[in-house]
Structure formats: C-alpha cells, structure tokens
C-alpha cells in the first residue's frame, strides 16, 4: 500500500464518519464538495428523496469563462461557493448542512465554505 492509497482510504473513512451524522432534508439540504487536483465540485443534496437540488463546479460555463485555465485553486473555490449560494437562494434555500467529505477544513474547502456563507447561505 503506497502513501497515496493510504491517504485516499483515510479520507474515505473520515467521509463515512461524517456521513453518519450529516443528513440533508428538503428544508436543510446537505452541501457536499469534491475536490480533484484540477477542479472543485459542489452540490446541494436532499437525502430523503435522494436527489440533487442544484450543483456548481469549476467546469460550469460561467465559472470556466471567468477563471480561464487555473481552476484548481482557492480563487476558483471561492467562485464555486458564490455560485452555489446564488443557485440555492434562487430556489429558496437559506440553510444547509456542510459536508466536507472527509477533507480537512482548510485551503480550497474553507474558501468554498466561507464564500458560500458570505453570499448568503447559513451553516
């Protein structure tokens, strides 16, 4: 087992631990994120119905055009956070529960969360 595989498995274990406690509803959906080396993705999920309410990522045309080639950094995460907050408020969602998906709360994850808070989401 190499170093990267241990890191991936550790994140998956942390993610499962968080998922046992965090549950999204129609009133308060779960804001979940995924970060790859080159992109950041987030979505609002209603776990009771098992459906995604809205989603945003650095691959969205609006964000992609604004950022250009550099889409895996903190600035890109802030743009995704602002976009998901705008989409949520358009659907009448103000409160969410944050699912960091086993990632440490710093860097891109923290930037996305703080940008979403700044744009009007409460969590």
The answer to whether 43 and 27 have CB atoms below 8 angstroms apart is: no
Domains: count for the chain: 1
12 occurs within a structural domain: yes
| Residue 26 lies inside a defined structural domain of this protein | yes
In a domain? residue 49: yes
pLDDT of residue 71: 85
Q: What is the pLDDT of residue 1?
A: 78
Question: What 8-state DSSP symbol labels residue 51?
Answer: E
Q: What's residue 68's pLDDT? A: 84
How far apart, in whole angstroms, are the C-alpha atoms of residue 5 and residue 1? 6
Domain CATH for 76: 3.30.420.100
pLDDT score, position 122: 95
The DSSP symbol for 120 reads T
Give the domain extent around 74.
3-118
Neighbour-count burial for 93-106, b at 16+ CB within 10 Å, e otherwise: beebbbbbbbbeee
Mean pLDDT in residue range 46-60: 95
Percent of the chain at pLDDT > 70 equals 100
Give me the pLDDT at residue 59, please. 94
List all residues 6 or more positions away from 26 whose beta carbon is below 8 Å from its beta carbon: 46, 48, 49
Does residue 123 sit within a domain? no
- 59-118 residue pLDDT tens: 999 999 988 888 889 999 999 999 999 999 999 999 999 999 999 999 999 999 999 999
């Amino acid at each position: 087992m190499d170093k990267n595989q241990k890191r991936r498995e550790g994140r998956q274990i942390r993610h499962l631990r968080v998922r046992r406690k965090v549950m999204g509803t129609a009133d308060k959906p779960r804001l979940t994120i995924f970060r790859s080396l080159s992109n950041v993705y987030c979505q609002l999920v209603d776990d009771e119905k098992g459906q995604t309410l809205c989603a945003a990522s650095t691959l969205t045309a609006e964000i992609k055009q604004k950022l250009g080639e550099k889409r895996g950094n903190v600035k890109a995460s802030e743009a995704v956070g602002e976009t998901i907050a705008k989409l949520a408020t358009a659907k009448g969602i103000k409160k969410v529960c944050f699912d960091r998906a086993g990632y440490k709360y710093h860097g891109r994850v923290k930037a996305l969360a703080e940008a979403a808070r700044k744009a009007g989401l409460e969590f």
